[in-house]
Amino acid sequence: MHRRSGPGALQRQNAMHSILAILLVLIPLAASAQQCPVAAPSLLGAWERKSNSGFFEQISFEMDGDQKIFNSWLHQRPEISGGTWKLEKCTIFIAHPTLENFSVDLVVLKASKNRITVREVGENDVSVYQRIK
C-alpha cells in the first residue's frame, strides 16, 4: 500500500527545515558570544600599543589584593595612575581614579599570551597591544 503525502505534510516538512536552518545559525552564534579569548589573570602586566590606532600608548593591569589597578603612560610619562579596571562579558572597563565621567571600555577581539586586540566601544578602529617584557 502506498501512502500519499498531502499538502499539510509538505508544509510541516518545510517548517521543520526552516527551524533546523535557523538553529544551525543561532547555536554557533550563541556559543561564540559566550566565549571570550582572554581571562582577567592573563591581562595582568604591562602592554604597549603596536597599532597606529588606540586610546593608550602604554598600559598596565595590576592586582593589589582584590583591587584591580589600571595605569597608563604617554611618551613614557604617567597619564593615568591608580585607575580601576574589570573584565566583564569580554569588555575591559577602565575608570579614572578621580574623574567620574572619564572611562574607556575596550572590547577584546583576540588575545594570546603576548598580544591583545581590542576595539573601543563605539569606535571602528582596532588597537593591538603587545606585552612588555
Among the four given CATH numbers 2.40.160.20, 3.10.129.10, 1.10.10.10, 2.40.128.280, the one describing domain 40-131 = 2.40.128.280
Query: Which pLDDT band, with edges at 50, 70 and 90, does 76 fall under?
Result: confident
pLDDT at 71: 97
pLDDT at 18: 62
Whole-model pTM? 0.73
Proportion of the chain above pLDDT 70, given as a percent: 75
User: What is the per-residue pLDDT across 14-39, written as a single tens digit (0 to 9) for each?
Assistant: 666 666 455 444 444 444 455 899 99
The span from the CA of 81 to the CA of 95, in Å, is 11
- Mean residue pLDDT across the chain: 85
Domain ranges (residues) in the chain? 1-35, 40-131
In 18-57, at which residue ranges do the beta strands (DSSP E only) sit?
Answer: 45-49
pLDDT at 32: 44
Query: Which pLDDT band, with edges at 50, 70 and 90, does 72 fall under?
Result: very high
For the purposes of burial, counting CB atoms within 10 Å of the CB of 77, is it exposed (0-12), middle (13-18) or buried (19 or more)?
exposed
Q: Which helix or strand (DSSP H or E) is residue 126 part of?
A: strand 126-131
